[in-house]
Amino acid sequence: MKTLFTTLFAFVVVLAFGQISVRPMDLVQSAREQGAVFSPVQLFQAAPGAVLSDEKAPKEYDILDISQYELEQLLQDEPEAMTLMLPASFQPGPMEVLLVKVNPFAEDFSVRTSDGRTLTDADIELGVHYRGILKGGSSIAAFSFFPHDVMGMLSTKENGNLVVGQLKEPRQQGRYIIYQDSDVLQDIGFSCETMDDGIGYTREELAPQPGARALSDCVGLYFEVDDDIVTDKGGAVGATNYVTGVYNQVATLYANESINTVLTQVFAWTTNSPYSSTSSSGMLSQFQGYWGSSGSWPGALGQLVSYQASGGIAAGFSGICASDRRNSQSFSSINSTYSTVPTYSWTVMVVTHEFGHTFGSRHTHACVWNGNNTAIDGCSGSTEGSCSLPGYPSQGGTLMSYCHLQSVGINFNEGFGPQPGNVIRNVITNAGCLPSCGPPSCTDGIQNGNETGVDCGGPDCPACPTCSDGVQNGDETGVDCGGSSCPVCPCYDNPVTLTIVLDNYPEETSWEIRNAGNSVVASGGTYGSNPDGSTVVENACLPDGCYDFIIYDAYGDGICCAYGSGSYTLTDDSDGSTLASGGAFTSSQTTNFCVSTGGGGPTCTDGIQNGDETGVDCGGSSCPACPT
C-alpha cells in the first residue's frame, strides 16, 4: 500500500491528474472533467435484524457489515475516484457517495512520540483519505480507510450530519453504524470556554474578498494527542490513525470554505503526559506552558486533544502568524464514543470550532457581527455582550454556534456561515507567514527545504544577501545598510524617530509620512505580531521640506485610553524637538511638520503653505495677511 512517506501528491487536496481544487464539490467536478471513472464500491451491507441494545442509541440508524476483502482491495488499489455505496433504511434508497482521493498531509509530515521515536513508513500505515459529495443535492463527505477501520462523515442540506463508524458494543464487534447525529450531539452537549473580547468586526473584515489567497496558502495544523487517547487506541499507531481520520473530516469542512489546511505532525504521548487539569482552561494553560512562547511545534496552529476535562478553549482570536506561539494554541476535550456509538462528528465539531477561534472567528452569539455589533443567532440562550438575542437559524446552525444545543442542530453543510467564513478567509489573505500549498520553493516567502535563509541559500536558491556584499539587496534600504539585519543607513538629510507605545490591539495601528505632493515617503504597521503594550521605534530620513504625519487606528478608537495607554511621539533627531505626538484620537490623526538641515522652519518666502499659514506665504501668526 502507498503511504504518506511515498506519497504521489505534491499538493494538498490535489487530484492525481493534476487539477488543484479545494471544495469537495469542485474536486468531484474536476475529476469528472478529467475523465475519472467513479466505479461503485460495495464495501458495506445492511446487517438484517441487528439492533443496538443501548437505550442511548440514536433514533435513526442502520447497522452495517463490512467486507474485509473489499476493504483490503480498496487499500491496495487506492482508486483516484470511486462511488461508495451506502445502505441506509432511513434514507430514500441507497446513498451514492462520490469520492476523490486526497492527501491531507504536509510534505514533511511526521509522527513523533514522547518516548523519543519518529515513526516511519515501516511503523505505520496512514490510510487512504477521500473527500467528495453525496450524489444529488448540496452536500459534503469525507472518508478515511485503514486496514482495520473506516471513519466517515456526510452532511446534507436536507438531512443534516451522518456518521459512519465502527461500533464498540461487544455483541456487534466488527460491525459499523450509520446514523444521524442530531440527537447524540444534543445529549452530549458542548461548552467553549474561549472568552469574548467584545471587539466587533469591521465591515471590511466581514466582507467577501475576491481574489483572496485562501486557495493557495496552506495553514499547517499540529495535533498533540494526550496519553489517555493513545492508551485507548492501543498505542501511537492507533492514535495516529484516529487523529488523521478526524483531521480529514475537519480539513473537509475548511476546504468547503475554500480554506486549505495540511496536517504537519501528530505528537503522541506514549508516556505519562504533563497534562492533568480537570478544566479546559487548565489543560490549555498546561499545553501553553509546556511549549512556551517560542513553541517549536510545526505548523501555524496547534491543538491538544484529550479525553480529560470537558468542552474546549482557544487562546484567542489571533493565532495566525502570532509572534507569541501561545496565542496559536487550543484544546479540545473529545469523546471517542457516546455509549457504544462512534462520535466522530462531535469530535470534528469541537476540533473545528476551537481551531476556528485561533483562525480569528468569535462565536455567532457574540455581539460583534453584521457591521453593527449584533449577534448572528441566539442558540446559546444568551449573547456575549449587550445586544439583543436573535432567533435560531432555520437551516441549521454553523460551526461557531451553539446550535447543537437546540433542535435546529449544527449542519456541517452550512459550514462557518458567510460572515465567520469571510473573517477567516480575510485573515488568511492578509497573513504574511503562510506558505503556498506545495513543495519548498525559492519564492514562497519562508525558510524551508535546504535554504539557509528565507528563499535563499542552499543548493537550489540564490545566495542569501549579506551586509558586506557591496550591493543593495534583501530588504536593505541602502548598500549593505538598513532593513531587518544590517546597520541603520546613515542619514545625510533630516533623521526623525517615531516611538509608538502600542495599546492592547497593535494589529489596528499603522502610520505614514506624506510629503507636500501627498506621496508616501515612509510608513509602518500594522503591528499584530508585537505584544500588547509594547514599544515600537521606527526611523526615517527626510529631505528638507514639510510633511504630514498620519497615524491610523483600524477600529476607530485610537491607541489611548479605552484599551491600553498607547501614545506616539515623532522626534527631530537633529535637535530633539517633538514634531508630532498624541494617542487619543478616533480613526486617524494628522500633524503637519517641517524639517530642514539648515535648522530653519517654515518661512514667509518659501513658496508653500506651511506652519500656521492660512495661504501660501501669508496669514497665520508670522506672515502678512492673505489678500482678499
pLDDT value for 485: 78
Residues 6+ apart with CB under 8 A from 166: 149, 150, 174, 175, 176, 177, 342
Averaged pLDDT for residues 473-482: 80
pLDDT score at 265: 97
pLDDT at 488 (0 to 100): 82
Q: What is the pLDDT of residue 76?
A: 96
16 band by pLDDT with thresholds 50, 70 and 90: very low
**Most confident listed range (2-16, 225-239, 440-454):** 225-239
Above 60 in pLDDT, residue 12? no
CB of 540 closer than 8 Å to CB of 547: no
| Secondary-structure class of domain 494-595 per CATH | mainly beta
Indicate the residue type of 78.
E
Tell me phi and psi for residue 65, to 5 degrees.
Answer: -95, 145
- Indicate the pLDDT class of residue 464, thresholds 50, 70 and 90: confident
Of 153-167, 353-367, 377-391, the least confident: 153-167
Among 122-136, 474-488, 569-583, the minimum mean pLDDT is found in 474-488
Q: Which range has the top average pLDDT, 355-369, 404-418, 430-444?
A: 355-369
pLDDT for res 394: 87
Closest of 497, 496, 503, 549 to residue 526, by C-alpha:
503
C-alpha grid cell for residue 180?
A: 444521524
Cα-based angle 125, 128, 133 (whole degrees, multiple of 5): 160
Say what the pLDDT of residue 364 is: 97
Instruction: Give residue 189's pLDDT.
Output: 59
Residue 508's alpha-carbon distances to 47, 209, 218, 525, in angstroms, are 59, 19, 24, 8
Higher pLDDT, 171 or 444: 171
Q: How large is the average pLDDT for residues 233-254? A: 96
The radius of gyration computed from the CA coordinates of the chain, to the nearest angstrom, equals: 29
Q: Where exactly does CATH 2.60.60 map onto the chain? A: 494-595
What is the C-alpha to C-alpha distance for residues 491 and 587, in angstroms, rounded to an integer?
32
pLDDT at residue 400 tops 60: yes
Does 583 or 21 have the greater pLDDT score? 583
How far apart are the C-alpha atoms of 550 and 542, rounded to whole Å?
A: 15
Phi (first) and psi of residue 31, to 5 degrees = -65, -40
Q: Which of 69-83, 431-445, 577-591 has the lowest mean pLDDT?
A: 431-445
Q: What is the pLDDT of residue 181?
A: 85
- Three-state DSSP state, 534: coil
Give the span between the Cα atoms of 443 and 216, in whole angstroms.
13
Widest distance between CA atoms in the chain = 103
pLDDT at residue 45 greater than cutoff 50: yes
pLDDT band at 152 (very low <50, low <70, confident <90, very high): very high
- Quote the pLDDT of residue 4: 41
CA dihedral 521, 522, 528, 533 (to 10 degrees): -140
Closest to 370 (Cα-Cα) out of 257, 203, 208? 203
Q: Are 235 and 399 in contact (CB under 8 A)?
A: no
Taking all residues of the chain, what is their mean pLDDT, rounded to a whole number? 87
The confidence band for 341, taking pLDDT boundaries of 50, 70 and 90, is low
| Per-residue pLDDT at 196 exceeds 90 | no
The CATH homologous superfamily for domain 4-194+206-361+416-430 is Collagenase (Catalytic Domain) (3.40.390.10)
pLDDT for 578 equals 96
Identify the H or E element spanning 183. helix 182-188
Top-confidence range, 33-37, 519-523, 553-557, 621-625: 519-523
Question: Is residue 6's pLDDT more than 80?
Answer: no
Say if CB 275 and CB 309 are below 8 A apart.
Answer: no
Q: How far apart are CA 335 and CA 305, in angstroms?
A: 10
The pLDDT confidence band at residue 404, using thresholds 50, 70 and 90, is confident
Q: Smallest Cα–Cα separation from 152: which of 82, 207, 49, 230?
A: 82
Alpha-carbon torsion, ordered 265, 458, 529, 194, to 10 deg: 0
Kindly report the CA angle at 316 between 286 and 220, in degrees rounded to 5? 80
Count the Cβ atoms, other than its own, within 10 Å of residue 445: 14
Strand pairing of 218-225 and 301-306? Answer: parallel
Mean of pLDDT values over 165-187: 79
The three grid cell numbers given for residue 475, joined into one nine-digit string:
530588504
pLDDT of residue 441: 63
- β-pairing, 61-66 vs 337-338, is unpaired
Compare 213 and 24 and report the one with higher pLDDT: 24
Q: For 322-326, 525-529, 569-573, 586-590, which range has the lowest pLDDT when averaged over its residues?
A: 525-529
CA angle 567, 570, 575 (to 5 degrees): 135
Which residue reads 490623526 in cell numbers?
589
Query: Per mean pLDDT, which range of 375-389, 405-419, 481-495 is the poorest?
Result: 481-495
pLDDT at 476: 79
Q: What is the pLDDT of residue 2?
A: 38
Task: For residues 476 and 485, give the distance between their C-alpha atoms in angstroms, rounded to a whole number.
Answer: 8
Residue whose C-alpha is closest to residue 164's, from 46, 297, 74, 286: 46
Q: 3-class SS at 128?
A: strand
Comparing CA positions, the residue from 253, 64, 241, 14 lying closest to residue 154 is 253
Q: Taking the mean position of all CA atoms in its chain, how far away is CA 23?
A: 16
Q: Of 288, 275, 289, 404, which is closest to residue 347 (Cα–Cα)? A: 404
Residue 352 belongs to what H/E stretch? helix 344-359
Which amino acid, 600? G
Phi-psi region of 323 (alpha: psi -120 to 50; beta: other; left: phi over 0): alpha
At 624, the pLDDT band (50, 70, 90 cuts) reads confident
pLDDT for res 422: 95
Is pLDDT larger for residue 212 or for residue 115?
A: 115
Q: Could you tell me if 85 and 74 are in contact, meaning their C-beta atoms sit under 8 angstroms apart?
A: no
For CATH 3.40.390.10, the residue range(s) in the chain are 4-194+206-361+416-430
How far apart, in whole angstroms, are the C-alpha atoms of residue 320 and residue 301? Answer: 7
